[in-house]
Amino acid sequence: MDDQEFSSLPSLDQGLWKRILSILWIFKRDVLILFSFMVTLALGDVIFPLFNRFALDEFISAGRYLDRIPLFASLYVMLIVVQTFMVYLFIKQAGKIEMNFAYHMRKVSFEKLQRLSFSYYDTHASGWILSRMTSDINRLSEIVSWGLLDMVWGLAMMIGISVVMLIINAYLALLVLVMVPVLYVIARYFQKQILKAYRDVRKINSMITADFSEMILGIKSIKTLAIEPKREKSFSTLATSMRQKSIRSALFSSLFMPIVFAFASISSASLLSFGGQAVLVGTLGLGTLLLYVQYVNAFFEPLRNIARILAEMQMAQASAERVLSLLDAKEDIVDVSVTNEHIPLKGDIVFDNVNFHYIEGENVLTDFNLKIKAGQTVALVGESGGGKSTIVNLLCRFYEPTSGQILIDGINIQERPLSWLRSSLGYVLQTPHLFMGTIASNIAYGRPNASLEDIISAAKAVHAHDFIMKLEKGYDEPVLEGGAKLSVGEKQLISFARALCANPSLIILDEATASIDSNHEAILQDAIKTLLKGKSAVVVAHRLSTIVNADLICVISKGRIVESGTHNELINLKKRYYELYTHQFEQLDD
Amino acid sequence: MSSYKLLLNHIRKTAWMVGALLLFTMLVVLFTLMTPLYVSFFVDTILNLSEPSHPIFIWLTNTIVSVDVLRSNLWLAGIMLVLVTLLSGIFMFLRGAFNAILSERVIESLRNALYKHVLSLSHKEWSSHHSGDMIQRVTSDVDVLRRFLSSQLSELMYAIFMSTMAFVILLGIQPNLAWISMMVMPIIFTFAFVFFKRMQKAFKASDEAESELTTTIQENIQGVRVVKAFHQESHEMSKFESRNATYRDLTYKLIHQLGMYWGLSDFFILLQIVLVVVTGISFVLRGQLSVGEYTVFVSYVSMVLWPIRNVGRILSDMGKVDVALTRCAQLMNYQIENVNEGIEHKVVGQVEFDNVSLIYPDDHKKVLEGVSFTIDAYSTVAIMGATGSGKSSIVSLMARLVEPSEGVILMDGVPLSDISKHSLRSQCSIVLQEPTLFSDSIRNNLLVASSEMNDELIHSILTQTSLSSMIENFEAGLETKVGENGVTLSGGQKQRLAMARALILRSPMIIFDDSLSALDAKTDAHVRTALDQVDYPLTTLIITHRVASAKHAEKIIFLKDGQVIAQGTHDQLMTSCADYAHVVSLQEEVHHG
């Protein structure tokens, strides 16, 4: 079972592992040190039985060299000290590789995630990305450290034992080595079965977890629908099938070991009968025979693990594929390098014949043109799916237009670094997102060097100051995961303060008032007024009160502007806007 | 229920398997110990021409096959070794099989019990416990128990049998050497136990660092819009970097300590082996031990000590099992409700609230106070009020999720508390503000509570709820999967599916828990028109904060701070209730600028 044969197994993807190993090669010094530890350890494991042989053949059978027993004992103890020190060192070393590799993979993946555009986040659920970053990287790091260690040790041990056995007595050695191909085939078979059974178990286990969490999170729906018996029945089917699959998987695993033992015992048995004969006629020492019996067990020890390691490798391969697919994901947005010159952004915006689609063939924007003068507020209204949010996304450069260009202050935004645009942007989205930290750190998010005065004045301007002061610790109140404990309205006010604190020259409100009930309406309107004062703004409209004061209102339908003008102009036009305005009181879409 | 009683209850059903598991573990140990004994017999009796000393082999050579036959047919001696191994293999397999069957059955039974219990929890319980915590109890905690039952328990049994049986056999061979060869056992055991007990803090620190790292990644992914819009990628990276490094360093430190442990415990064990080898030699030289018996000692020492080292680790880990078990038992002690207690009542739809008050436990504020109103059968009634006015509590009372603290609710003249919850809930369909759709096809979601339904009726209901065009857009139509692994629906779409799900039941009463107001005005109006046109008697209750949704009801009940301050039609309230008129003007103003 040399390396060549190993990597040519059909189920192992060579190219993939080569890439993984090339990443591991960053830590080549540590890896080589680990290799040397493992080889030393395996050598020690090969030498131990030789001590026993010497004791049996010389001290016990022949009664020679008895005066050297103390020397024998001290050598033995020395070997033990070396061996156990190796154990300590290799664990430490493997841990070092595992942790550094995981750290490195996480780092490059995270950096990659920061560069990927929204089209990646649109097509990959957050849970999916998260498990690439956590469990997949963990599994991969484990196999390149501990898995590799097992393989090197096992291989060194088997080679070492084979060599010693062949040197001492080639004939007896063959009795052991002949079993290797047989056991290898058996291990391969079991590896497949165990892996398959194990996958089934994992799949059904995740279904059980999903069912539990769906039930607990949806308990109110289940209760009010009075469907408890139905859920209970379907769960118990799942639990039963979990039991059946788990037992099946356990049966395969517990069958494997006895079979390996049985085949190994054939080697031992033939050693006893052939070797025993030699001992009886006096051509073989008893110690040597027992050395071989001891070696048989040690020799098949690594082979017993081979099924497990191969199964783990296959799972790690799937993880590797997924992690690499994240690292290989195409970066849609190519940033130009940041220059030192500081050009302030004024806010003259031009959409020039912009086309855009998320999916090939389904144009969201078609030859879209729009001009916004610096300081103007433009409202976008219309049915959902019409392209309003897309316009905003393109302006923020979350996506690039398929064709056409967007100019800010007369320059195509693709020719300027992202930081130029985004550091001048104040953005508030429909569902507020707060980060863990404090209220103050959340408001200062867009300008980390903001002083407390800046933060407070931003909060005051959007009427968030009052409720913040009512919190136990005021601005230092910790914000828990997802901003729990704050109402949606409060979180949205903090988002407004955050946008204002960033001191932007261009403001984007993407349905920013949708989730706020009408009691907070008045406060919010005032907050928006403060926020938009003297700045270019694009507002995806939700409530008409936000729109009526806009300098320009565009009704967007199917990726085009079908009407534009001021509130009064459009009302007098008595067409789409008029219809929206008179028929729908509150929400223009869902 | 105490935690051990919980586990015992579920084990009891398969108690005989515990016996079988014990038996097979014992047999495995016996036959594993047999192999070195056999080798020793082979060496001493067959090769060294001495008389068999161990009773088993005396019996063997006297009854089955004589020493002379074995000596002249060494292959026969070899076959006997294979037989011993085969037998031990068979027992090993049986032990594994029984272990799996036992643990999987116990876990299945426990899972079913937990599921059933959580399904029956009372409103008080599920609204006061964190759902994340409950999910953890029924999943990760159960996994801890599963691991204990499926591997740790049998490892413990194995180590205990192994050490005692080996010791007994060794005592029979050479008592003095037997004592010497077990010297290090208590040290190894104590060392392992104490070490892992002390390591628990380090394990916990590493776990916490990992979960903090995960949260950081999660937060970054979920807040990606904000991160990008505010151009804080580099800030996020440095935040991540420090957590990533903390986790790496803490875990590395942990592995480092583990390395010291494994190295040291290996040292003790190997030292014990040297001791046995050296003293064994002197015993042999003094004629107190045969060569074969010497090999038995050397083999047994390692057979016993490696598992004992594991026992210390498992025992020190037992705290986790105890915690998991306690957490499951606590969950089983949460109060449940019996949905079948009470009478079956055929609902017509005439409802009366008579002086109803409601105080939630752990909260001294009255949510509702002296609320009285009637709903006529087959009418449409709206309950209006701002957030916190208590309007949603009315829904909870109607579904008997909570019981009034004072006053009575009558359904068709029958006290609501006499009617079984199942009967009530299956006849009053409630469309929740935040409905749950199950990870299944749209069709199965629509039919989740009904037994049968023809496609024609489904389609007419989908038209009523403005869902037809959405479903036509899906390639798989009604078979499209929603939820976790399916398509993502907007809030409004979910809301409409929940409405369709309720309408399909053709219940005599339908309650909208602030769910109509989540729709856009056009769909809201469309749904309300459809409700007016149903071809069966229907009582409708609309809970809302939006004037437009309530305006057309035959009666509007206006709630403020838990009290009914006015009831009547829209026109009546406009003149009689200043608060209502104010809300109307506020919403109109918002709408008209």
Cβ-Cβ contacts under 8 Å between A and B: the total is 406
Same domain, residue pair A470 and A548: no
Count of structural domains, chain A: 3
Question: What residue numbers bound the domain in which A351 lies?
Answer: 345-424+505-590
A360 and A398 inside one domain: yes
Decide if A340 is inside a domain.
Answer: no
Q: Is residue A371 part of a domain?
A: yes
**How far apart are the C-alpha atoms of B23 and A328, rounded to whole Å?**
55
In chain A, positions 540-559, which contact chain B (CB-CB < 8 Å)?
543-545, 548-549
- Is there a single domain that holds both residue A120 and residue A193? yes
Residue in B with minimal Cα distance to A271: B78
Minimum Cα–Cα distance from B118: chain A residue: A216
The residue among B526 and B555 whose pLDDT is bigger is: B555
Do residues A567 and A580 share a domain? yes
B399 vs A223: CB contact, 8 Å cut-off? yes
**A396 assigned to some structural domain:** yes
Tell me: pLDDT of A423 over 90.
no
Dmax over CA atoms of chain B, in Å, equals 119
A319 domain-assigned: yes
At which of A282, A299, A328 does a domain end?
A328
User: What does DSSP say about strands A425-429 and A349-357: parallel, antiparallel, or unpaired?
Assistant: unpaired
Residues A554 and A584 both lie in one domain: yes
Q: Last residue of some domain: A503, A526, A557?
A: A503
pLDDT tens profile B276-295: 999 999 999 898 998 889 99
pLDDT at A10: 41
pTM (2 decimals)? 0.80
Is A267 in the same domain as A410?
no
Contact partners, residue B224, CB within 8 Å, separation at least 6: A118, A121
Output the DSSP codes for A494-536.
Answer: HHHHHHHHT--SEEEEESTTTTS-GGGHHHHHHHHHHHHTTSE
Tens-place pLDDT, residues B25-51: 999 999 999 999 998 988 888 887 777
Average pLDDT over residues A333-356: 83
User: What pLDDT shows up at residue B485?
Assistant: 62
Predicted confidence at residue B1, as pLDDT, reads: 62
Residue A5 located in a structural domain: no
pLDDT over 70 percentage in chain A: 92
Same domain? A579 vs A441: no
Residue A335 lies in a domain: no
CB-based contact, A202 to chain B, within 8 Å:
no
Domains of chain B are 3-332 (1.20.1560.10), 351-592 (3.40.50.300)
In terms of Cα–Cα distance, which of B151, B153, B94, B108 is closest to A251? Answer: B94
Residues B94-122 have pLDDT tens digits of 999 999 999 999 999 999 999 999 999 98
Tell me the C-alpha distance between A367 and A241, whole Å: 56
pLDDT category at B386 given cuts 50, 70, 90 is confident
B219: pLDDT strictly greater than 50: yes
> Do the domain assignments include residue A3?
no
CB A518 within 8 A of CB B545: yes
Query: A-chain residues within 8 Å CB-CB of B232?
Result: 445-446, 448
Collect all residues of chain A within an 8 Å Cβ-Cβ radius of residue B422. 226
How high is the pLDDT of residue A7?
A: 35
CATH number at residue A240: 1.20.1560.10
Q: Which of A301, A328, A355 is the last residue of a domain?
A: A328
The answer to whether A272 contacts B214, with C-beta atoms less than 8 Å apart, is no
Pick the range with the lowest mean pLDDT from A53-62, A382-391, B295-304.
A382-391
Nearest-CA neighbor of A357 among A418, A403, A407, A415? A403
ipTM: 0.85
Interface of A with B in 152-191 (CB under 8 A): none
pLDDT, tens digit (0-9, with 9 covering 90-100), for A182-230 = 888 888 888 788 878 888 888 898 889 888 888 888 888 888 888 888 8
Quickly count: other Cβ atoms within 10 Å of residue A346's Cβ. Answer: 16
Q: What integer is the mean pLDDT of A475-498?
A: 80
Averaged pLDDT for residues A18-28:
94
Q: Exposed, middle or buried, A534 (CB in 10 Å: 0-12/13-18/19+)? A: exposed
Determine the residue type at B30: L
Shared domain check, A380 and A436: no
B502 contacts B430 by C-beta, under 8 angstroms = yes
Considering A483-487, B245-249, B484-488, the range whose residues carry the highest mean pLDDT is B245-249
- Is residue A410 domain-shared with residue A468, that is, in the same domain? no
What's the pLDDT score for residue B424? 93
> Comparing B593 with A418, which gets the higher pLDDT?
A418
Residue A411 pLDDT exceeds 80: yes
Residue among B575, B592, B541, B589 at smallest CA distance from B384: B541
Lowest mean pLDDT, pick from A487-491, B87-91, B225-229, B343-347: A487-491
Q: Are A260 and A178 within one domain?
A: yes
Question: Do residues B301 and B87 make contact, with C-beta atoms less than 8 angstroms apart?
Answer: no
Q: Greater confidence, A70 or A315?
A: A70
- Do the domain assignments include residue A334? no
pLDDT at position B593 is: 38
Kindly report, residue by residue over A113-154, the tens digit of the pLDDT: 998 888 888 778 777 888 889 889 999 999 999 988 988 998
* A544 pLDDT higher than 70: no
Give the pLDDT of residue B161.
94
> What pLDDT is recorded for position B204?
86
**Would you tell me which residues 211-230 of chain B have a C-beta closer than 8 angstroms to some C-beta of chain A?**
213-215, 217-230
User: Residue A149: phi, psi to the nearest 5?
Assistant: -60, -45
Report, as an integer, the average pLDDT of A47-65.
Answer: 87
Q: Which of A92, A111, A225 minimises the CB distance to B259?
A: A92
**Hey, which of A232-246, A295-309, A434-448 has the most confident mean pLDDT?**
A232-246
What is the model's pLDDT at position B355? 94
| A121-150 residues touching B, CB cutoff 8 A | 121, 126, 129-130, 133-134
Check which CATH number belongs to the domain holding A546 and give it: 3.40.50.300
Nearest to A114 by CA among B404, B349, B210, B228: B228
More confident of the two residues A311 and A49: A49
Query: Do A564 and A472 belong together in one domain?
Result: no
Lowest mean pLDDT: which of A585-589, B277-281, B570-574? A585-589
In this prediction, residues B57-81 reach a mean pLDDT of 84
Question: Are residues A414 and A437 located together in one domain of the fold?
Answer: no
